[in-house]
């Protein structure tokens, strides 16, 4: 039977799928099996994800709507149709966030002696302390702005905390002001812990917004503040760089960073008690409609509560600490090069330590036999040991080449500072390819051994960022395989010289060979299934969106290929549709660590092919980024990865199954007993 695989009903809208991921993260805040303070942290993460969703995705749709864009995605929804559906889901999610905070987490925290005090909770002693704190610490750095013809409405920074204040009485010049705007100082923490001498519980906190709201009248002497209502505006934060006109990418990105703080408004959050006339006034100032405002039954920025777990010393209310293990070969060798010389080594973060890679670079920086180091950096974080090692290598006279992607979203400023620092110490820095983000994760050390130059290579699925290696699951492969070395060298040369890379021996690369090879491998499984040969596809990634890949998977399913997918976030493929995707199963695992590995396995008629990659199956990864995908050839390593992937397929504690209607169903252990992939890997791989 012929089926139209481009039928919009076969595709889940990517924006709505992302909101479903937000729902799964929010569900972690309600998970009784998670420690209480971690549940609060998950709530703040869900809020942060939603912030970025509005800053980037909703902002983009609004731009398309404004210019009358007619292009539609595979689901055939117009920008306006998507915005209407997003409004309904986002409103529901935001209401649920505040319900979980107010009805679940705050009462449970209170039982544990961790209290978030509102003004109505303050006793006389606390009230006096907070009044002095406001007068001495906060008020001196505040600049309230009365609204009149000489003081037009200010433009608040993106996501900053502000108050609209209603006033009665005359100012010093005899004028009736009526309204004012007060901006909360950015220098102050949003959560203030009360000192022990005024606390009635072990941990008592007051939000900065509550302190300002209670004392804002003191900023307007001679007048009476009749109301103070917090609000927050979310702005378009996607940088625009005209790549056709750019002469210096670094300067272009620097120039756009400031505009991010004052981009077009896309969302207004106000306190639930904000009067309708003030809401309408704010909407008019930001040129927004009623569909763009969200009322908050609590702090207008839940992300600020992320500070609370770090301020509370209650280990039993947090995830237990763990020590990542170090592979035995690294432990037993005199240096990393000796360990790698004996064969490929796989590390699985965060269960296994990132320290071997740091030591790999540090040894390379100090080793007189090392001639050069080449490194890609997408996100590294401040005070990076990777950057420290590269700096030392340059100081020691090594040839150090670093490809820095300046346009790593929300890390642009750090990356500009990093680029300037490395250039100052003598490293050669390039910014990748204009028009294509350099997202590949590669490091190569060239070392003289006797009369031969040997290339030692590290390839990964995630960033060279020490903090995220403790929070994200990622694979890294160390190898001195000559073919890998030649491939990596060719890719680096391509990034610096812009010349055409020759045919790579083993690796796949976007935007050249990765997409067509994935399509070919999926199609091969379909052919094998049709011929009655063993056929199976397993893929694990962050997002699955690209239409041609989805159609190839549909064709493979129709041919009888069993397909198992672990997709953490966005999935536009609709599984379980009769005569289309009945052989496809999709699940998402959301737990303590952010799943970030990209693994692609093809049965290949009994001669399995296994790849690790920096790329998801998204259009941007296939066509607009420089990505790498590399085969795992060592049988023992391949067997290990497949075994670890099977843990995710049997997870019944943190796994969600995608239904054909786009909803997700949380699995429960039942009589089978609890099975958590992340917990098992912590037990097996952690020290």
Q: Which residues are catalytic?
A: 439
Would you state the structure tokens that stand for residue 457, as one six-digit string? 């290579």
Beta strands in 127-272 (DSSP E): 145-146, 162-168, 179-183, 191-193, 203-207, 224-235, 265-271
HSE-CB for 190 with a 13 A CA cutoff:
19
Beta strands in 210-282 (DSSP E): 224-235, 265-271
Q: 3-state SS string over 343-371? A: CCEEEEECCECCHHHHHHHHHHHHCCCEE
3-state class (DSSP) for residue 544: strand
User: Measuring CA to CA, how many Å separate 346 from each of 264, 390, 478, 681?
Assistant: 45, 23, 6, 14
For 2, counting Cβ atoms within 10 Å of its Cβ (0-12 exposed, 13-18 middle, 19+ buried), the class is: exposed
Of 506, 526, 521, give the one whose Cα is nearest residue 617.
521
Would you state the structure tokens that stand for residue 98, as one six-digit string? 């505040």
C-alpha 360, offset from chain centre: 27
What does the alpha-carbon distance between residue 656 and residue 307 come to, in Å, rounded to a whole number?
29
Q: In this structure, which long-range contacts are made by residues 577-582, counting pairs with CB atoms below 8 Å and at least 24 apart in sequence?
A: 577/10, 577/660, 579/1, 579/3, 580/3, 580/5, 580/10, 580/554, 581/10, 581/553, 581/554, 581/557, 581/660, 582/557
3-state class (DSSP) for residue 565: strand
**For residues 40 and 109, is the Cβ–Cβ distance under 8 A?**
yes
Would you state the structure tokens that stand for residue 471, as one six-digit string? 């929070």
Total residues found in the chain within this entry:
687
HSE-CB for 362 with a 13 A CA cutoff:
10
Residue 47 is inside which H or E element, if any? Answer: helix 36-52
Residue 566 is inside which H or E element, if any? Answer: strand 562-567
Q: In sequence order, what are the beta bridge partners of 484?
A: none
3-state class (DSSP) for residue 452: strand
Q: In sequence order, what are the beta bridge partners of 293?
A: 268
The arrangement of strands across the sheet holding 224-235 comes to: 145-146, 179-183, 162-168, 224-235, 265-271, 293-296
Beta strands in 277-390 (DSSP E): 293-296, 345-349, 370-377
- DSSP, res 632: -
Q: What residues have CB less than 8 Å from 288, skipping those under 6 apart?
A: 265, 266, 267, 268
What does the alpha-carbon distance between residue 685 and residue 353 come to, in Å, rounded to a whole number?
10
**For residues 486 and 623, is the Cβ–Cβ distance under 8 A?**
no
Q: How do beta strands 399-404 and 428-430 pair? A: parallel
């Amino acid at each position: 039977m012929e089926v139209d695989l481009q039928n919009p009903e076969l595709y889940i809208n990517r924006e709505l799928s992302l909101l479903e991921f937000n729902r799964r993260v929010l569900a972690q805040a309600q998970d009784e099996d998670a420690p209480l303070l971690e549940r609060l942290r998950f709530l703040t993460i869900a809020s942060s994800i939603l912030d970025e969703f509005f800053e980037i995705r909703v902002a983009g749709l609004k731009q398309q709507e404004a210019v009358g864009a007619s292009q539609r995605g595979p689901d055939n929804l117009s920008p306006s149709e998507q915005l209407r559906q997003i409004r309904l889901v986002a409103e529901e999610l935001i209401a649920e966030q505040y319900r979980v905070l107010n009805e679940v987490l705050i009462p449970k925290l209170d039982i544990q002696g961790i209290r978030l005090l509102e003004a109505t909770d303050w006793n006389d002693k606390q009230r006096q302390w907070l009044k002095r704190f406001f007068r001495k610490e906060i008020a001196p750095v505040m600049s309230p702005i009365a609204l009149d013809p000489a003081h037009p409405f200010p433009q608040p920074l993106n996501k900053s905390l502000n108050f609209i204040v209603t006033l009665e009485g005359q100012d010093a010049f005899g004028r009736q002001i009526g309204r004012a705007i007060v901006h909360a100082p950015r220098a102050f923490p949003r959560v203030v812990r009360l000192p022990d001498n005024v606390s009635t519980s072990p941990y008592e906190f007051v939000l900065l917004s509550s302190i300002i709201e209670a004392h804002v009248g003191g900023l307007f002497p001679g007048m009476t503040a009749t109301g103070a209502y917090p609000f927050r505006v979310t702005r378009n934060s996607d940088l625009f760089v005209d790549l056709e006109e750019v002469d210096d990418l670094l300067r272009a990105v620097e120039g756009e960073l400031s505009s991010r703080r004052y981009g077009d408004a896309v969302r207004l959050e106000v306190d639930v008690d904000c009067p309708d006339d003030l809401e309408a006034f704010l909407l008019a100032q930001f040129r927004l409609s009623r569909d763009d405002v969200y009322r908050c039954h609590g702090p207008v920025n839940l992300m600020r509560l992320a500070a609370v777990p770090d301020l509370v010393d209650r280990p039993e209310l947090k995830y237990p600490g763990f020590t990542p293990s170090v592979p035995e070969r690294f432990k037993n060798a005199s240096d990393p090069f000796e360990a790698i010389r004996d064969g490929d080594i796989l590390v699985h973060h965060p269960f296994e330590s990132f320290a071997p890679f740091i030591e790999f670079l540090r040894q390379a920086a100090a080793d007189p036999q090392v001639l050069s180091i080449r490194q890609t950096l997408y996100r590294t974080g401040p005070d990076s040991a990777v950057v420290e090692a590269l700096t030392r290598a340059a100081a020691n006279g090594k040839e150090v080449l670093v490809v820095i992607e300046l346009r790593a979203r929300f890390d642009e400023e750090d990356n500009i500072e990093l680029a300037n620092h490395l250039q100052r110490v003598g490293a050669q820095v390039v910014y990748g390819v204009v028009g294509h983000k350099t997202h590949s994760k590669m490091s190569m050390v060239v070392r003289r051994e006797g009369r031969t130059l040997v290339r030692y290579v590290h390839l990964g699925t995630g960033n060279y960022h020490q903090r995220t290696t403790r929070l994200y699951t990622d694979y890294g492969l160390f190898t001195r395989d000559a073919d890998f070395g030649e491939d990596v060298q060719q890719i680096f040369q391509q990034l610096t010289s812009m010349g055409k890379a020759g045919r790579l021996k083993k690796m796949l690369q976007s935007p050249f060979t990765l997409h067509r090879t994935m399509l070919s491998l999926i199609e091969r499984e379909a052919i094998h299934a049709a011929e009655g040969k063993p056929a199976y596809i397993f893929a694990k990634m962050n997002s699955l969106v690209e239409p041609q890949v989805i159609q190839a998977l549909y064709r493979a399913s129709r041919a009888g290929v069993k397909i198992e997918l672990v997709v953490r976030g966005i999935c536009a493929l609709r599984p379980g549709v009769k005569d289309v995707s009945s052989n496809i199963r999709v699940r998402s695992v959301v737990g303590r660590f952010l799943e970030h590995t990209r693994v692609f396995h093809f049965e290949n008629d009994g001669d399995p092919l296994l790849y690790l990659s920096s790329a998801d199956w998204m259009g941007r990864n296939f066509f607009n980024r420089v990505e790498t995908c590399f085969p795992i050839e060592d049988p023992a390593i391949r067997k290990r990865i497949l075994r670890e992937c099977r843990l995710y397929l049997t997870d019944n504690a943190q796994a969600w199954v995608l239904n054909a209607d786009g909803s997700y169903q949380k699995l429960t252990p039942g009589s089978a007993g609890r099975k958590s992939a992340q917990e098992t890997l912590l037990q097996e791989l952690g020290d």
